[in-house]
Amino acid sequence: MKTGYLIDMDGVVYRENQLIAGAAEFVQALTATETPFLFLTNNSAPTPEDLVVRLQHLGIHGLSRRHFYTSALNTADFLCEADPHCTVFAVGEGGLLAALNERKIPNDTIRPHYVVIGEGAISMEKLSKAHECIERGARLVATNPDNWCPVTHEKTRPGAGATASFLEASTGRRAYYLGKPNGFMFQQARRKLAGFTGSAPEQVIMIGDTMETDIRGAFEAGMQSYLVLSGSTQFEMVGDYVYQPTRILQSVGDLVEEIKTGKPGNPMYDQPTEPGARRVEHLGIRHQTDIFAFHKPRPRPAMTK
């Protein structure tokens, strides 16, 4: 069966500036076997070209811009489809500005149809301008719903979702969130993947480290999903969610042999696929009562809306 992969980046391929063990071999195996794949990231700051260079520095070569689909590109695709002659006031970095520019969506600081919020490059001056545009009738769109993003195991940074929340509070307008887990991100990614080979893969599998975006989005789009434990999710947390991954792996390194040989490997945990089978009963401790709360680190707000 021809399989295509959608692959999240942060926590799957790298963490901060460190390549995750086995990730280079994994990408090599995909390339060598001509398996279609697409990196799918909610980070709207970099352009696809920036991501090519970033992976080169980490030792992954042979990729081009077509291997990357960011939430900034997804937002530009959405605006083109939903409202082809729209104008925007964008608050974000190069990846977002380039994506809008590529799609020939004009910037308008006076009476835009949309205020578009991405990662980074935020100042009170820009937020005030965005607020004024919304008061004059602009609709609010964000590249992704992430309130915070992991930087290291101990450190996080604010995400586009947090900035959009600021404007939701100040204007009373609700934002529309693109990127994962929005089905439009998965639908477009699937379309791109099919475009690589001229025919759609028979199955598409999402690989990610975040339950709220990668696994939820894949589940809602009717795709299989593999959760890797090399990023933001620990094994004990999985049972807290109503949607579950198809498989749980330590890292993408676990898939190298499987992709090379075409034979299923030995995943850490496989979800039963038979209809009606119980899916989460042996997934470890679920902290339903919070009895150990005082041993836990400071609780973080939800990663997405």
8 binds Mg ion (CB under 5 A): yes
Please give the Cα distance from 217 to 41 (Å, whole number).
Answer: 12
C-alpha closest to that of 122 among 135, 111, 131: 131
Pick between residue 133 and residue 221 the one whose CB is nearest to Mg ion.
221
Please give the Cα distance from 187 to 9 (Å, whole number).
Answer: 18
209 binds Mg ion (CB under 5 A): yes
C-alpha closest to that of 182 among 163, 160, 203: 160
Q: Give the residue nearest to Mg ion (CB).
A: 11
179 binds Mg ion (CB under 5 A): no
Query: Is position 77 annotated as part of the catalytic site?
Result: no
Query: Is position 50 annotated as part of the catalytic site?
Result: no
181 binds Mg ion (CB under 5 A): no
Question: Is residue 11 left, alpha or beta, with left meaning phi > 0 and alpha meaning psi from -120 to 50?
Answer: left
Q: Please, is 243 exposed, middle or buried when counting C-beta atoms within 10 Å of its C-beta (0-12, 13-18, 19+)?
A: middle
Pick between residue 264 and residue 301 the one whose CB is nearest to Mg ion.
301
Pick between residue 101 and residue 224 the one whose CB is nearest to Mg ion.
224
* 32 in Cβ contact with 1 (< 8 Å): no
Please give the Cα distance from 217 to 212 (Å, whole number).
Answer: 8
Pick between residue 11 and residue 217 the one whose CB is nearest to Mg ion.
11
Active site residue: 8, 50, 77, 146, which one?
8
Per CB under 5 A, the list member of 11, 92, 94, 145 interacting with Mg ion is 11
Give me the least distance between CB of 8 and Mg ion, in Å please.
4
212 binds Mg ion (CB under 5 A): no
Give me the least distance between CB of 7 and Mg ion, in Å please.
10
The region of 8-16, 48-56, 113-121, 188-196 touching Mg ion under the rule CB under 5 A is 8-16
Cis, peptide link before residue 275, omega less than 30° from 0 = no
**Catalytic residue IDs:** 8, 10
Kindly list the residues in this chain that would bind Mg ion in the complex (CB under 5 A): 8, 10-11, 209-210
